[in-house]
Amino acid sequence: MGTLLPFVGMVMVILAQVSSMVITKAAMSNGVNKYVLIVYSNALSSLVLLPCSFIFHRSVHLPSTSSNLYRLIFLLALIGCVGQLCGYAGIQYSSPATATAMLNLVPAFTFILAIIFRMEQLEWRSTSSQAKFLGTVISITGAFVVTFYKGPIILSTQSLVVLPHQLLFSPQLNWVLGGLLLAAEAFINSAWYIIQTLVLKKFPAVLTVMFYLCFFNAILSTIYSLFLVKDPSAWKLRPDIGLVAILYSAIVAITFRISLCSWCLWKAGPLYVSMFKPLAIIFAAVMGIVFLGDVLCLGSVIGAIIIVTGFYAVLWGKAKEEKMGEESGVESLESSSQKVPLLQNRIED
C-alpha cells in the first residue's frame, strides 16, 4: 500500500498533464487564441490557489515586502511566462506527444545550466558525470530527430472530434517550428526549476509560491496579450472547448496536479517522480490520435525513444551521484563516531 498510492498518484499526475495538453490543443485548433488561454488560465489558477494556500499553509508567515524573495518569484514568473508562451505555441504547431517528448529534455538542459553556472562540476573520471554528459548528448540528439525528421506515418485513426487545424506555414515547417518552440520551452523550464529550487529553499510553502507565480503570470501575460490580440471578440468566454480548456488547466493541470505531485515527492522522492515522465509520451500519443486525429510518425517514435534513453541516463547518473554522496556521508559519520566515544555509545544503543 505504501508504494501503490504514490504509483496511482503519479499516473494521475501524468494523465492530468497530458489531458490538459490535448484539451488545450483542441481549443487552439478550434480557433481559441493561445494568448487569451494563457491569461485566463493563469488568472483562474491564482484565484483557485489563493484559498488553497491559506488552507494548507495558514501557519506559514509570509516574508516581508522588503525580502528579495518576491523579486525571485517575479523573475520566476517572467521566465515561466515566456516558457508558457513557447509551450502553447509549440503544441499548436506540433502535437501533445511531441510536447511530452520534449519535456524529457529538462534534466539534460538543467545539467548544462548547472555546469555553466558552476552549480555542478563535470568530472570526466566519474561514471555519474559520464552518464549525465552522455545522456544529455543523447537527449539533444533525440530532440533533433523529433524536430527535423517526421518520417512516414505509422499510426493514425479517424478523429472522434473533428477540428479545423490551422496551419501557419506548410505542415513540415509547422512541425519544425513546433519542435523548436518546445525545445525552447524545455530549456526555459530548466532555468525555471533552478530558480524555483532557490525560492522553495527560502520559502517552502509550495501552493503559496504557485499562487504568486500564477498571479504574476496573469499580469505579465495580460500586458503582452493586450498588444498581440487585436480582435476584442477573442476575449469573450463562450461555453465551448475554450472555456473547458481554461477551467481544466486551472483546476486540474495546475492546482490538482501540483498538489498531488508535491505529495508524491514527499512520499516517494524526486527520483521516483521523475521516472514517470516518459509515460506521458505514451498517454499523449494515444490521446492525440484518438481525440485530435493526430498521426504518429516514425520520426516521433525514434526521437522519443532516443530522448527517453538519454533521460534515463541522466537520471541514473544523478541517482548514482546521490548514492555516492550518502555513502561518503555515512563513512564520515562512522569515522567521526570512532573519535567520539559518547556518539559511538549512542549509536550502538
Q: If phi over 0 gives left and psi between -120 and 50 gives alpha, with beta otherwise, what is residue 161? A: beta
pTM for the whole thing?
Answer: 0.83
Which pLDDT band holds residue 2 (cuts at 50, 70, 90)? low
CB atoms within 10 A of CB 113: 16
Mapping DSSP to helix (H, G, I), strand (E, B) and coil, where does residue 109 land? helix
The rounded distance, in Å, linking the Cα atoms of 91 and 312 is: 24
* Tens-digit pLDDT profile for residues 148-165: 888 888 887 654 444 444
Q: Which parts of the chain fold into alpha helices (H)?
A: 4-29, 34-56, 69-93, 96-103, 106-116, 127-148, 171-202, 206-228, 241-248, 257-268, 270-274, 279-292, 298-339, 341-348
The rounded distance, in Å, linking the Cα atoms of 285 and 11 is: 15
The pLDDT value recorded for residue 339 is 47
The pLDDT value recorded for residue 331 is 55
Nearest to 98 by CA among 149, 161, 40, 27: 149
Higher pLDDT, 44 or 207: 44
Q: Which amino acid is at 340?
A: V
**Least trusted range by pLDDT, from 147-151, 230-234, 315-319, 342-346:** 342-346
Q: Which of 153-162, 278-287, 335-344 has the highest mean pLDDT?
A: 278-287
Mean pLDDT for the chain overall: 84
